[in-house]
């Protein structure tokens, strides 16, 4: 629950709007109670032959209730949107600073997507948890006053019932759903692994006639997920039933214990019906709060994770030269894990073109991670123009390197904005030059609005080859003198990959190129070719 | 030519939208047929609520007038009705939950089957994480539609109708008041809905772009960080969020009018009924329970309508999820895929033509085979003919992209020729039952799949029912046993997602062990050593040599060592690169 409070503290800036929304919501609630109260009084007074209130007041209350409800929704949503925008921007900034930001480097897009789901799970925090909770707390004295005018014992009993509905059940619901959320997430993860396994290994599944087995496996995990969800649903159903029966019991209590003052009894009854209806949302709010607090924990964990490589306190100046040197560099991803790089030495002179080959998992991408300060070597030094990169800030270092990876993201934005990511102030001419170099200019020209064409999420509306070319054009556009291309042709068919690599030959010769790939297509013009195996580089042909 | 991408883009956009809406309306139709039990429980609960209102009203009348009827009796009846209603509400929730489960089970099964049917060639170019997202998350998003939205629609009609009927029976005039109030709701909702529709149509594209911006930027956050643009992006994210708020509020202002209509109708009904009974009550005390009853009916009538408004987002969630799900080829639309045609026609072919082929010694032949991946795409294979007699090996040469993998996919039945025939022992491959074709073929590619499970599980994947001695023998022959000892817990070491990572050579040996265990007469090797270092490559080839004995083998490769290996075995070669060159020269 402390993480929920931390999230709430982010919203201090929006206090005005949030408090306004709470006040309007409370006014709307008060109007609802008054409406019930007056209608009941009016009818029961009429039955006793005396008219206490003119219908006009009833209409005024009714009208203000309707208007207040409208305002409540409007202001409540407006305040929520403001608060949620703050939360999202805060999360983005923190994630960019924390080590989790580097997750995308290692194909963890779905981990990030799940975190986004956690941020979205906090959307209901204000409207569906905080407002009902404040309303319920303030309802309590009102209810007590109205019912005790009728009968004190009734008031005591109703107090107990109201506390059950508004406090005890929601509290239990929150604890229960927090525990269940864990089981549910585990079951969901297990289903995802089974589905991913089957779909990644579709070829093997078909060839070994394993369709039935794999389907059965997925279905078993699906059933486990459904059981977890059923357990949550059944427990929440018990809580809801308990809340419902408590409200019904309150009605009986008021009627049976309060015959002394019939008029007050009828009014008390109608008010408590409205009060219990409002508080009836609390068990559901409790369930939501349990889930939201689990989400808040994960969001905070990700946002507050320490960066893998922290910047030096007294950063050195960027050197003028951009020759790169690996000097006896050793590295492992995990503490007890295998050594990925073992006393590795590599010279990449300014303006040279180097390829590093090796099977996947050999540690080729680790070279890029180290150069970009997404990780730091266990021992040894990496130097840029003779300066140890450990003494440079990450931002300074990255301004010298344009990096294209297999996971380089194409944003849901226009072609132009996707390109300008690496060079904000580039002119349209510069964009076209980069597109020409990546051999994508003809395609972009053929689009209805050219550079302003919109690209869908995940570049869904262009082909895989076009997406890679766009990423390549973006890398070309960067003013950085060093280009690191990590499997630029991954996921492309051979012909497309060869054509793509061929474009590298037209890059101006003053730029350094480090090509990381598991195979060469035979079209690349390179100065040196290295093969990475067992943490060492061996010279290959060339 | 320049128009093509534009038209394609528009066509894709149009198709996606229609398919998604179609899928959702089909689902709603299907869901409605199953929802009657839930609705019956809901209706029962509504009737009990009406009875409770009547008992409550009678009790109040007794209190007000010190009436003669028995207060305890009414109280007991009220309590019984409350308990029964609680039971029915639980049953309703339980059955609705099961509807959601059944629908998700059905959709997940359908989408998985569709993906298994179109096979690896059909999903070329789609990341498997995306496919898993369809099968897992998008199917989950349909829960609300079936478990909540569809039942709520029925209850939004039945609940108010029952309340109004009760009102009529109690007092016709009050019944009319309640009916008018209830009818105002859909009318008001329609007006507001139309207004919101117009407003949201104008905003739709901008809003949906702004909505996806956050998740998109988080997914691509490392690209942003490495480009040094995180601060700029955070600022523009804030700006986009504010713009989204302003635009959303513009739509919501109109959309909330419909909820306000609900409040207005409810308040109006309450006041109208209070006034309606004010005059009669002064003269006829007997009308007291009636008046109170009608007042208590108001919340009963409006609760299902509020319930309906509350689950509207469940429908929107399903609609959004439907877009990718609907794009999965349904059984009918599988026909559009060249790769799936094979399976369909095999099914459609007359019984006599479906055959299995004797499993000892397979000869294969390509007869004038042409092939392209998509209808408008370039011709990958152009009138290719060759023959591999049983027990021999063919080496497929040529640079990447020349059609080596296409030949293998044609032999696996994942793709089918645009024209010409591929035969196994003289039988057209299209006439062979896919399961039987799979039984007689082993395939090892560049990146064999390692499934989540132990080393032993991964070998036994080929034949789970194999006795221990057999898979252990296969592991020995493929030399998995050599490295299994150095793994943390030997053959029980867990691999795959979150498990122990194997080297490329070790993965290949597991794939070879699978092929040994499967023991099929046809062996297709697609660049099995492409990314291995020379020493490992030799070891893997050595295992492959033993595997190849007595089988018909096609080896696609451009590795020099593999050529050497094949030369020793004295095999035929087919240089696709040279063939293509040849054809070009003749054409010129």
Verify whether the Cβ–Cβ distance A77 to B292 is below 8 Å. no
Residues A156 and A97 in one domain: yes
- Structure tokens belonging to residue B228: 């040094």
By Cβ distance, the residue of B90, B274, B514 closest to A43 is B274
pLDDT of residue A106: 47
pLDDT of residue A361: 64
Expressed as residue numbers, the domain containing B72 is: 35-335
Query: d(Cα A168, Cα A234) in Å, to the nearest integer?
Result: 18
In the predicted structure, residue B350 carries a pLDDT above the cut 60: no
pLDDT of residue A56: 74
Number of domains in chain B: 1
* A191: Cβ contacts below 8 Å, ≥ 6 apart: A218, A221, A222, A224, A225, B136
DSSP alpha helix (H) spans, A375-446:
394-398, 415-419, 428-437, 441-446
Q: Tens digits of per-residue pLDDT, A303-347?
A: 888 777 888 888 888 898 899 999 999 998 777 677 888 999 999
Q: What is the DSSP string of B131-195?
A: HHHIIIIIHHTTHHIIIIIHHHHHHHHHHHHHHHHHHHHH-HHHHHHHHHHHHHHHHHHHHHHHH
Q: Tens digits of per-residue pLDDT, A453-495?
A: 988 777 767 777 788 889 999 999 999 999 999 888 765 656 6
pLDDT higher at A48 or B199: A48
In the predicted structure, residue B238 carries a pLDDT above the cut 60: yes
Query: d(Cα B78, Cα B76) in Å, to the nearest integer?
Result: 5
Strand-strand pairing, A379-384 and A387-388: antiparallel
Tell me the shortest Cα–Cα distance from A511 to chain B, in angstroms. Answer: 17
pLDDT higher at A272 or B585: A272
Verify whether the Cβ–Cβ distance B116 to A43 is below 8 Å. no
pLDDT of residue A164: 95
pLDDT of residue B13: 39
By Cβ distance, the residue of B101, B226, B287 closest to A372 is B226
Residues A295 and A371 in one domain: no
Query: d(Cα A143, Cα A509) in Å, to the nearest integer?
Result: 81
Strand-strand pairing, B453-454 and B494-495: antiparallel
In the predicted structure, residue A256 carries a pLDDT above the cut 80: yes
Nearest to A123 by CA among A86, A75, A155: A86
Query: d(Cα B517, Cα B474) in Å, to the nearest integer?
Result: 5
pLDDT confidence band for A49 (50 / 70 / 90)? low
- Residue pair B446/B440 in contact (Cβ under 8 Å)? The answer is no
pLDDT higher at A241 or A461: A241
- Structure tokens belonging to residue B485: 């000892």
Mutate to test the interface with B, among A206, A392, A426, A496 (most CBs of B within 10 A): A206
Residue B327 lies in a domain: yes
* B183: Cβ contacts below 8 Å, ≥ 6 apart: none
Residue B42 lies in a domain: yes
Residue B329 lies in a domain: yes
pLDDT of residue B353: 43
pLDDT of residue B342: 41
By Cβ distance, the residue of A93, A361, A409 closest to B503 is A361
pLDDT of residue B332: 40
Query: Helix, strand or coil for residue B482?
Result: helix
A353 membership: H or E segment, kind and range: strand A353-357
Q: Tens digits of per-residue pLDDT, B366-389?
A: 999 998 877 777 788 888 899 998
Query: d(Cα A326, Cα A514) in Å, to the nearest integer?
Result: 13
Poorest-pLDDT segment among B203-217, B424-438, B504-518: B203-217
pLDDT of residue B564: 76
- Residue pair B513/B463 in contact (Cβ under 8 Å)? The answer is no
pLDDT confidence band for B8 (50 / 70 / 90)? very low
pLDDT of residue A260: 66
Residue A496 lies in a domain: yes
Query: d(Cα B330, Cα B114) in Å, to the nearest integer?
Result: 7
Mutate to test the interface with A, among B219, B224, B413 (most CBs of A within 10 A): B219
Residues A259 and A336 in one domain: no
pLDDT of residue B53: 93
Give the chain A residue nearest B89 (alpha carbons): A241
pLDDT of residue A282: 94
Give the chain A residue nearest B72 (alpha carbons): A256
DSSP bridge partners of A237: none
pLDDT of residue A541: 60
Residue A74 lies in a domain: yes
DSSP alpha helix (H) spans, A201-210:
202-207
pLDDT of residue A38: 82
User: What number of residues does chain A have?
Assistant: 542
Residues A425 and A283 in one domain: no
Cα dihedral across residues A132, A135, A137, A142: positive or negative:
negative
Verify whether the Cβ–Cβ distance A195 to B82 is below 8 Å. no
Residues A468 and A507 in one domain: yes
In the predicted structure, residue B10 carries a pLDDT above the cut 50: no
Verify whether the Cβ–Cβ distance A240 to B452 is below 8 Å. no
* A221: Cβ contacts below 8 Å, ≥ 6 apart: A187, A190, A191, A194
pLDDT of residue A310: 81
pLDDT of residue B354: 44
Nearest to A533 by CA among B538, B560, B531: B531
pLDDT of residue B157: 92
Burial of B375 (0-12, 13-18, 19+ CB in 10 A): exposed
Residues A293 and A401 in one domain: no
A76 membership: H or E segment, kind and range: helix A55-97
Residue B330 lies in a domain: yes
- Residue pair A229/A177 in contact (Cβ under 8 Å)? The answer is no
Residue A9 lies in a domain: yes
Among the candidates A304, A336, A362, a domain finishes at: A304
Query: d(Cα A194, Cα A217) in Å, to the nearest integer?
Result: 7
pLDDT of residue B522: 93
In the predicted structure, residue B278 carries a pLDDT above the cut 90: no
Nearest to A369 by CA among A391, A389, A347, A349: A389
In the predicted structure, residue A42 carries a pLDDT above the cut 70: yes
- Structure tokens belonging to residue B462: 């080929």
On chain B, the residues whose CB falls within 8 A of the CB of A244 are: 82, 85-86, 89
Burial of B323 (0-12, 13-18, 19+ CB in 10 A): middle
Q: What is the DSSP letter of A476?
A: H
Query: Helix, strand or coil for residue A415?
Result: helix
pLDDT of residue B93: 94
pLDDT of residue A466: 83
pLDDT of residue A495: 65
Residues A250 and A359 in one domain: no
Which domain CATH number covers A424? Answer: 3.40.50.300
Query: d(Cα B556, Cα B574) in Å, to the nearest integer?
Result: 9
pLDDT of residue B146: 94
Query: d(Cα A442, Cα A419) in Å, to the nearest integer?
Result: 16
Residue B122 lies in a domain: yes
Residues A22 and A59 in one domain: yes
Mean pLDDT of B69-96: 93
pLDDT higher at B52 or B563: B52
pLDDT higher at A95 or A518: A95
Among the candidates A276, A304, A332, a domain finishes at: A304
Name the phi and psi angles at A175, rounded to 5.
-65, -45
pLDDT of residue B295: 86
pLDDT confidence band for A17 (50 / 70 / 90)? very high
Tell me the shortest Cα–Cα distance from A50 to chain B, in angstroms. Answer: 8
Verify whether the Cβ–Cβ distance A113 to B219 is below 8 Å. yes
- What is the Cα A353 distance to its own chain's centre? 39
- Residue pair A138/A26 in contact (Cβ under 8 Å)? The answer is yes
A51 CB neighbour count, 10 Å cutoff = 12
Query: d(Cα B158, Cα B40) in Å, to the nearest integer?
Result: 10
Which domain CATH number covers B225? Answer: 1.20.1560.10
Mean pLDDT of B568-588: 68
Among the candidates A304, A336, A356, a domain finishes at: A304
Mean pLDDT of A220-238: 95
On chain B, the residues whose CB falls within 8 A of the CB of A205 are: 116
pLDDT of residue B1: 29
- Structure tokens belonging to residue A532: 């990475």
Q: Tens digits of per-residue pLDDT, B243-274?
A: 888 888 887 787 788 788 888 898 889 888 88
- Residue pair A504/A515 in contact (Cβ under 8 Å)? The answer is yes
DSSP bridge partners of A403: A484
Mean pLDDT of A162-172: 95
pLDDT of residue B515: 94
Q: What is the DSSP string of B536-575?
A: HHHHHHHHHHHHHTTSEEEEE---HHHHHHHHHHT-EEEE
Residue B273 lies in a domain: yes
Mean pLDDT of B572-581: 74
Tell me the shortest Cα–Cα distance from B569 to chain A, in angstroms. Answer: 26
pLDDT of residue B351: 39
In Å, how far are A39, A127, A458, B191, B225 from A27, measured between CA atoms?
18, 15, 46, 27, 46
Query: d(Cα A146, Cα A155) in Å, to the nearest integer?
Result: 8
Tokens 């209409």 correspond to: A59
Query: d(Cα B505, Cα B503) in Å, to the nearest integer?
Result: 5
Q: Tens digits of per-residue pLDDT, B18-28?
A: 678 888 888 99
Residues A264 and A367 in one domain: no
Q: What is the DSSP string of B316-374?
A: HHHHHHHHHHHTSPPTTGGGGSHHHHHHHHHHHS-GGG-B---SSS--EEEEEEEE-SS
% chain B with pLDDT above 70: 82
Q: What is the DSSP string of B123-135?
A: TTTS-HHHHHHII
pLDDT confidence band for B7 (50 / 70 / 90)? very low
Tokens 């995308």 correspond to: A104
pLDDT higher at B68 or B408: B408
Q: Tens digits of per-residue pLDDT, B103-139?
A: 999 999 999 998 888 888 777 666 677 788 889 888 9
Strand order in the sheet with A536-539: A401-404, A482-486, A512-517, A353-357, A528-533, A536-539
Residues A389 and A450 in one domain: yes
Q: Tens digits of per-residue pLDDT, A194-227?
A: 998 898 888 899 989 899 999 999 999 999 999 9
Q: Tens digits of per-residue pLDDT, B153-209?
A: 999 999 999 999 999 999 999 999 999 999 988 887 777 766 666 666 566 666 667
B499 CB neighbour count, 10 Å cutoff = 15
Report, in angstroms and rounded to the nearest whole number, the Rg of chain A calculated over CA atoms: 32
Tell me the shortest Cα–Cα distance from A93 to chain B, in angstroms. Answer: 6
Mean pLDDT of B296-316: 85
Average pLDDT, chain B: 81
B104 CB neighbour count, 10 Å cutoff = 21
pLDDT of residue B137: 85
Residues A453 and A483 in one domain: yes
Mean pLDDT of A253-276: 82
pLDDT of residue B282: 64
Expressed as residue numbers, the domain containing A236 is: 2-304
Number of domains in chain A: 2
In the predicted structure, residue B358 carries a pLDDT above the cut 60: no
Poorest-pLDDT segment among A242-246, A377-381, A523-527, B417-421: A523-527
Query: d(Cα A346, Cα A383) in Å, to the nearest integer?
Result: 10
- Residue pair B471/B460 in contact (Cβ under 8 Å)? The answer is yes
pLDDT higher at B11 or A230: A230
Residue B523 lies in a domain: no
Q: Tens digits of per-residue pLDDT, B442-484?
A: 999 877 888 888 999 999 999 999 999 999 999 999 989 988 8
Query: d(Cα A380, Cα B151) in Å, to the nearest integer?
Result: 66
Residue B486 lies in a domain: no
Query: Helix, strand or coil for residue A385?
Result: coil
Longest CA–CA span in chain A (Å) reads 108
Mean pLDDT of B349-363: 53
In the predicted structure, residue A21 carries a pLDDT above the cut 50: yes
Which domain CATH number covers A278? Answer: 1.20.1560.10
In the predicted structure, residue B327 carries a pLDDT above the cut 90: no
pLDDT confidence band for B497 (50 / 70 / 90)? low
Verify whether the Cβ–Cβ distance A256 to B71 is below 8 Å. yes
% chain B with pLDDT above 90: 32
Poorest-pLDDT segment among A227-241, A417-431, B524-538: B524-538
């Amino acid at each position: 629950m402390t993480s929920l409070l931390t999230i709430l503290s982010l919203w201090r800036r929006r206090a005005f709007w949030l408090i306004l929304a709470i006040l309007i919501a409370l006014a709307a609630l008060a109007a609802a109670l008054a409406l019930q109260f007056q209608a009941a009084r009016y009818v029961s007074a009429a039955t006793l032959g005396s008219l206490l209130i003119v219908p006009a007041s009833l209409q005024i209350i009714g009208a203000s209730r309707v208007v207040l409800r409208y305002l409540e929704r409007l202001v409540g949503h407006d305040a929520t949107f403001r608060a949620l925008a703050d939360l999202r921007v805060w999360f983005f900034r923190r994630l960019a600073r924390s080590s989790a930001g580097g997750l995308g480097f290692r194909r963890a897009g779905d981990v990030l997507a799940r975190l986004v789901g956690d941020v979205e799970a906090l959307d209901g925090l204000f409207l569906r948890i905080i407002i009902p909770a404040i309303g319920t707390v303030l309802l309590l004295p009102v209810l007590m006053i109205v019912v005790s005018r009728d009968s004190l014992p009734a008031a005591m009993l109703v107090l107990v019932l109201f506390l059950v509905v508004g406090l005890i059940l929601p509290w239990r619901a929150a604890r229960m759903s927090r525990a269940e959320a864990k089981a549910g997430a585990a079951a969901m993860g297990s289903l995802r692994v089974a589905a991913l396994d089957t779909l990644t290994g579709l070829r093997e599944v078909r060839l070994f006639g394993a369709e039935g087995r794999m389907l059965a496996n997925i279905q078993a995990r699906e059933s486990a997920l459904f059981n977890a969800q059923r357990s949550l649903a059944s427990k929440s159903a018990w809580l809801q039933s308990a809340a419902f029966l408590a409200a019904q019991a309150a009605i009986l209590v008021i009627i049976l214990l309060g015959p002394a003052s019939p008029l007050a009894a009828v009014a008390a009854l109608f008010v408590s019906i409205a009060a219990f209806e409002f508080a009836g949302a609390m068990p559901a709010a409790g369930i939501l709060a349990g889930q939201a607090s689990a989400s808040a924990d994960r969001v905070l964990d990700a946002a507050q994770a320490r960066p893998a490589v922290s910047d030096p306190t007294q950063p050195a100046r960027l050197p003028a030269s951009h020759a790169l040197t690996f000097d006896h560099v050793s590295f492992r991803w995990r503490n007890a894990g295998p050594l990925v790089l073992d006393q590795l030495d590599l010279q990449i002179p300014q303006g040279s073109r180097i390829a590093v080959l090796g099977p996947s998992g050999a540690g080729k991408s680790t070279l890029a991670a180290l150069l970009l300060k997404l990780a730091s070597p266990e021992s040894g030094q990496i130097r840029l123009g003779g300066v140890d990169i450990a003494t440079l800030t990450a931002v300074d270092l990255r301004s010298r390197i344009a990096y294209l990876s297999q996971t380089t993201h194409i944003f849901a934005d226009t072609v132009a904005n996707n390109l300008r990511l690496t060079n904000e102030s580039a002119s349209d001419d510069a964009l076209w030059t980069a597109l020409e170099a990546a051999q994508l200019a003809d395609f972009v020209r053929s689009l209805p609005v050219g550079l302003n064409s919109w690209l869908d999420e995940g570049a869904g509306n262009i082909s895989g080859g076009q997406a890679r070319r766009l990423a390549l054009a973006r890398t070309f556009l960067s003013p950085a003198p060093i280009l690191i291309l990590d499997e630029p042709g991954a996921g492309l068919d051979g012909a497309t990959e060869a054509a793509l690599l061929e474009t590298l030959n037209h890059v101006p010769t003053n730029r350094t190129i480090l090509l990381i790939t598991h195979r060469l297509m035979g079209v690349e013009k390179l100065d040196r070719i290295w093969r990475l195996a067992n943490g060492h580089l061996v010279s290959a042909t060339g | 030519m320049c128009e093509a991408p534009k038209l394609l883009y528009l066509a894709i956009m149009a198709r996606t939208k229609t398919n998604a809406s179609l899928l959702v309306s089909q689902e709603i139709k299907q869901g409605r047929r199953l929802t009657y039990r839930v609705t019956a429980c809901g209706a029962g609960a509504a009737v009990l609520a009406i009875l409770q209102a009547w008992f409550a009203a009678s009790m109040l009348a007794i209190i007000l007038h010190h009436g003669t009827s028995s207060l305890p009796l009414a109280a007991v009846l009220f309590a019984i009705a409350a308990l029964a209603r609680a039971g029915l509400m639980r049953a309703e929730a339980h059955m609705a939950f099961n509807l959601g489960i059944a629908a998700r089970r059905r959709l997940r099964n359908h989408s998985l089957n569709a993906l298994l049917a179109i096979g690896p060639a059909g999903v070329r170019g789609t990341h498997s994480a995306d496919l898993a997202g369809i099968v897992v998350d998008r199917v989950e998003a349909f829960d609300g539609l079936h478990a909540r939205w569809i039942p709520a629609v029925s209850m939004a009609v039945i609940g108010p109708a029952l309340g109004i009927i009760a009102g009529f029976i109690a007092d016709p005039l009050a019944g009319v008041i309640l009916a008018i109030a209830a009818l105002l709701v859909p009318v008001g909702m329609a007006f507001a809905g139309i207004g919101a529709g117009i407003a949201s149509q104008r905003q739709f594209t901008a809003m949906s772009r702004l909505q996806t911006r956050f998740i998109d930027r988080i997914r691509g956050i490392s690209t942003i960080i490495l480009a040094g643009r995180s601060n700029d992006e955070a600022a523009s994210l804030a700006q986009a969020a504010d713009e989204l708020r302003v635009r959303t509020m513009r739509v919501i202002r109109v959309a909330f009018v419909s909820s306000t209509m609900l409040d207005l109708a409810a308040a109006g009904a309450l006041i109208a009924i209070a006034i309606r009974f004010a005059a009669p009550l002064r003269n006829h005390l007997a009308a007291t329970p009636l008046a109170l009853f009608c007042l208590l009916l108001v919340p009963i009538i409006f609760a299902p309508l509020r319930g309906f408004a509350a689950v509207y987002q469940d429908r929107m969630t399903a609609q959004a999820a439907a877009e990718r799900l609907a794009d999965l080829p349904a059984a009918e639309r599988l026909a559009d895929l060249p790769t799936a045609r094979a399976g369909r026609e095999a099914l459609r072919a007359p019984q006599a033509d479906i055959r299995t082929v004797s499993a000892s010694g397979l000869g294969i032949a390509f007869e004038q085979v042409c092939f392209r991946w998509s209808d408008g795409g370039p011709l990958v294979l152009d009138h290719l003919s060759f023959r591999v007699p049983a027990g021999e090996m063919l080496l497929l040469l040529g640079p990447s992209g020349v059609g080596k993998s296409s030949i293998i996919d044609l032999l696996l039945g994942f793709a089918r020729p645009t024209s010409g025939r591929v035969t196994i022992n003289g039988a057209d491959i299209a006439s062979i039952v896919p399961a039987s074709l799979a039984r007689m073929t082993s395939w090892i590619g560049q990146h064999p799949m390692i499934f989540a499970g132990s080393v032993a599980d991964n070998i036994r994947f080929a034949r789970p029912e194999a006795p221990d001695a057999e898979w252990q023998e296969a592991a020995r022959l493929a030399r998995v046993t050599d490295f299994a000892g150095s793994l943390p817990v030997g053959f029980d070491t867990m691999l795959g997602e979150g498990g122990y990572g194997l080297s490329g050579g070790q993965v290949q040996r597991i794939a070879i062990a699978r092929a040994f265990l499967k023991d099929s007469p046809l062996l297709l090797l697609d660049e099995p050593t492409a990314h291995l270092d020379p020493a490992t490559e030799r070891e893997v080839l050595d295992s492959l040599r033993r595997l190849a004995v007595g089988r018909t083998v096609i080896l696609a490769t451009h590795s020099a060592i593999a050529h050497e290996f094949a030369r020793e075995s004295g095999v035929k070669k087919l240089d696709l690169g040279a063939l293509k060159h040849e054809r070009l020269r003749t054409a010129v």
